Amino acid sequence: MEKQNQQLKSNRNSKKFRINAGGGNLFLIIFAALFVAMIVRSFMGGTAPQMLVNGQPAPQPVELTFSDVLHRASEIKTMDVRGNDATGTLTDGTPYTATITYDPELLSKIAENGATISIDTSKTWVDYLGTWVPILMGLFFIWWIFRGFKGAAGGLGRSLTQSNPTKITTGKTKTTFKDVAGIDSEKQELMEIVDFLKDGKKFRDVGARVPRGILLSGEPGTGKTLLARAIAGEANVPFFAASGSDFSGIIVGLGVAKIKEIFELAKRNAPCILFIDEIDAIGQRRSTHSYNDQDREQTLNQLLIEMDGFANDTGIIVIGATNRADMLDPALLRPGRFDRQVYIELPDLAGRREILNLYAKKVKVGPDVNLQDLARGTTGFSGADLENLLNEAALHAVRNGRNEIATVDVEEARDKILMGPRKVRKMRPEDIKLTAYHEAGHAFVSIMYADITDPIHKATIIPRGRALGMVQHLPIDDKVSMTVAEVRANLAIALAGRSAEEVFFGPDKITTGAESDIAMATHLARYSITTAGLSKKIGLAAIKQVNTLGARSALENASEKTAEMVDDEVKAWLDAAHADATKLLSKNKEKVRKLAEELLARETLTGDEIKEIISGKTTKQKINKKAKKDAGK
């Protein structure tokens, strides 16, 4: 019986295919007829084949322009007019062809000179073909559309999904949890899904319902797609992947048909995993005012029905991934659809070290590369960023003729990602000198606050991106909060560059180079005062800055008087930090000058070299080396 049903289905499918093929063939026949008609018409309107007169070739007709016809009207003997084409003979017997504009006055003028004029207004079959073929094609297309609507799911929707297939990645993946690093807590959260796919009976015996859907959200590059593939690979089940944009199309109803198509495919291979990347493309929050986006809402409705509609326990686990979980419709996030939401955070220090260890196995890393220091210096990097970092380091190593990655390659790659590639700029000597003192100011104040802030990693005056120089810090571990002392110290470090310009060049020589430093310090001070409650004057009130579409607006939860107090307090904090940095630099001008001169000479100084210069050890070492050199002579 089952074989008979399958045979009937195959017969229906083949019949449907023949119908669709017949429609396509009819279109091809009509197009071919129109094409042939155009060719025939062009030949018929062309030059006639050469005739023989008394055994001699007839003379070739001359081509006359419209102005020639006007000037030589008295020489025309006969004229046969058809549309805008005219043929005939001149008084000397020479045949001619011309293209004219139908004008009764022109024809009357030619006739007055004794010419014989005949006008042909009849139509040939080619003219009728060119007129009726487009009309017939339009009528056939309208009939085909209505026939598709009449066939419902088996008509237009299915034929459109066949002609516009969804990009679906199918098959079993070889990725497992061993290929995912830095997100151990998230992997533990998803182990239940793997256990269900491997042995769902123990869950059903207890009466437990395994989540039908899992939503993976987080910053770009944190490994959402990789984690979904690892779940399928760990459970050894089929993996179907599609993008949310694959379900949108120009034709209304195409998204609904594609949702049905992919779920039918998944049901035939259950148990399996259906992964929809960037699900916010079809799962955005519905609105009563979205009159122009009805097709997307119909696609979302079909997705809601497929995930938790009338057919339950289909064995399909839907995994969605998005960077904007706040945009999704609440009906999509309710239990029974996306039962579990897993937020994948940026990796911490230990996670970054695991990720670097994983990717370091795929490239040749030299023994001088310290992955722990690299993990410390990449706070805020995602897994994709870390992989790109090692790849950029490998490319830099190849460009410089090395067969493995060295520390200099890693440093160059990190600086390139953080600030951009090196800039070859022709700078004035005074600008280079001012940049060196600016960065020396940052570096010196950083050393003065080394006990409460992150250790300094290096200082450089090599231009990158929009920056003319940079001072980098290397965190010991990941911080989740800062004390008031740390905030004030970081403000002083940020404004130390401007303070150095004032101390060594005077208040009239300050530049716009401190733009980004001032912006960062202002943001930190305002956050500390209005959000973190670190100001005694403002108190513990949470006052957030509202920024609607880039427009200026008042402070939320604050009166005008409170807003003025906040502005005054932010200015007071910045003025205090600036005065603190200026005081430190003024008391140690010689040490800062020596640091700036070393920057001018070497362009880049490491944290240890900066400490040696400030402590004076470098000078002593140079004196000792010179004394030994003189003694050797």
Q: Which residues are catalytic?
A: 439
CA distances from 169 to 6, 269, 277, 312 (A): 27, 14, 12, 24
Cβ partners under 8 Å of residue 157, min gap 6: 148, 253, 254, 256, 257, 260
Work out the angle between the directed axes of helices 125-150 and 2-44 (0-180°, nearest 10).
Answer: 160
Using DSSP, state whether 77 is helix, strand or coil.
Answer: strand
User: CA-to-CA distance for 69 and 99, rounded, in angstroms?
Assistant: 9
CA-atom Rg of the chain in angstroms:
40
- CB count in 10 Å sphere of residue 473: 19
User: CA-to-CA distance for 263 and 276, rounded, in angstroms?
Assistant: 11
Using DSSP, state whether 94 is helix, strand or coil.
Answer: coil
- Contact, 272 vs 266, CB < 8 A? yes
Peptide bond into 271 cis (omega under 30): yes
Whose CA is closest to 234, among 178, 185, 186? 178
Cβ partners under 8 Å of residue 68, min gap 6: 98
Vertex 543, ends 540 and 549: CA angle to 5°? 165
User: CA-to-CA distance for 500 and 596, rounded, in angstroms?
Assistant: 10
Q: What length does the chain have?
A: 633
User: CA-to-CA distance for 132 and 259, rounded, in angstroms?
Assistant: 40
HSE of 242, CA atoms in CB hemisphere, 13 A: 23
- CB count in 10 Å sphere of residue 236: 13
- CB count in 10 Å sphere of residue 389: 22
Cβ partners under 8 Å of residue 285, min gap 6: 327, 328, 329, 330
Cβ partners under 8 Å of residue 497, min gap 6: 438, 439, 441, 442, 513, 514, 517
User: CA-to-CA distance for 596 and 455, rounded, in angstroms?
Assistant: 19
For 300, the token pair is 């979302």
Three-state SS string over 454-484 comes to: CCEEEEECCCECCECCEEEECCCCCCCCCCH
What is the signed CA dihedral for 591, 446, 583, 513, rounded to 10 degrees?
90
Characterise 458 by phi-psi region: left (phi > 0), alpha (psi -120 to 50), beta (else).
beta
DSSP percent split of the chain into helix, strand, coil, nearest 5: 55, 15, 30
